[in-house]
Structure 1
Amino acid sequence: MTKKKNYLIGKAEALTKTTPPPKMKMDKVSLYTWEEVVSRLQHQFINVSNELKMLNDDLCPKDYSVTKLTLHPSFISKGHFPKALFRQMGVHSIGSKATEVTPDKWTKKGAPKASPSTSIYIAGKREQLASFAEQISSMTLATPGADDLIRIWSLENIKPETKIKKGIGEVKKFFEAGIQLIPDSPSEFVKSSFTKYAKKLGFEVNEELSIEVSNLWFVPITGSSEQLSKLAEHSFIRVIRPIPQLRSFQPLVRGLPRVRS
């Protein structure tokens, strides 16, 4: 009986797991006035929304896009996860990663310096994000989600070049793309959008060898490395990297059984 082979994904857990926030002693101190929060964040939200409007629909399936929201280093405890804000924005949290931020103010003594924080990847419709950006100026501290907004350091779009692993230019044509899916929601439209866009750029998408890990879809692709920067513009791509050796999808040549004369 032929044994079933199990394929491994190199360091996929680093992309799928939720990054635990660093331990930090919290002070119950209001860092910013509400006016300061609105002044600092509204232009960020509007700029992100305007940039998303410029994207081709091929990159944003069903008008959904992925952006990156970073917490202020003073508000990264588990209890500060901005659930209420995400409900108001109409977005889904789809992943996170550790980062560093140098804030202009913080709750500790002394001048602020680079400190650990968390960036959260969020997926939502461009239309809803644009609407929320316009509403920020009319919000008050009594508005649902306002407490969470105070804890936000920045909102930004994800640059395509940051999705491509360093050194990938040395790889000739075999790659692996990690596509972010929306947890607890149908995500076939994300997969089909990526597949259609990749094929449009001349890539062969090997869906039969794809693997899902948590809410990430890893799929081998074959094509020109010169087109990777264009491929990375798709909003739901989390990473493009050389295909791990244990996930090689080059066809295997099996020996034929010997026939006795």
Structure 2
Amino acid sequence: MDISGIAAVVTGGGSGLGAATAHALAAKGAKVTVLDVNGDSANKVAEEIGGLGLVCDVTKESAADVLDQAAEAHGAARILINCAGIGPAGKTVGKNGPLSLAEYSKVIQVNLIGSFNMLRLAAARMMPLDLHGEERGIIINTASVAAFEGQIGQVAYSSSKGGIVGMTLPAARDLAQSCIRVNTIAPGTFLTPLLMTVSDEFRASLGAQVPFPSRLGDPSEYAKLAVHIVENTMINGETIRIDGAIRMGPR
């Protein structure tokens, strides 16, 4: 898909992978709406790229109204990139007993159900559109290498990201007749706001675990891959790892 002039929506766009992706899409000429639960963050990124910032809870039905607001400003979005997510740690059974069902459910709700919610709402709005080249739209979700090699304490996070991987192909098949593509990116260890809170030594140790290049990924590298997937129409129904060949150990 030619990105120039196209309306795009990025969830979790106020920071990290989402912010980098919003910048990359805008640099290609897209009209970008930045969605985030933090309105200040969404507006800051939107101001930087000349886009629109809106508050959005991806787990709510009200996300439909937010997409309609974005469409009023930029036209119906042909690009949706889901970067919203959370990643609290917790063992199945820890020192204080079983993992709280509420904690587990929250991660599933935000990461998996939130991604599906935005996917279904965006796809429904893409379906009536005229073809843009060969297609009507493209949706990219964000999983993680934890979907495949979940570590100790990642049972909820890995479950949510594994669910995103699992829905990629059937969603792509569901929407194929409407000429809408669905893909997923599974990042490894990236320098996101979460890792900015830890020590330099800890960040360096994480980067050293990556075979090559032996460093943390930069959000701009995720964004470059997202842009390529948007532009390459033959990529559909795929989950693509971007991880420097890392395969996570138990810890």
Q: Structure 1-normalised TM-score?
A: 0.24
Structure with a larger share of its residues in strand: 1
Structure with a larger share of its residues in helix: 2
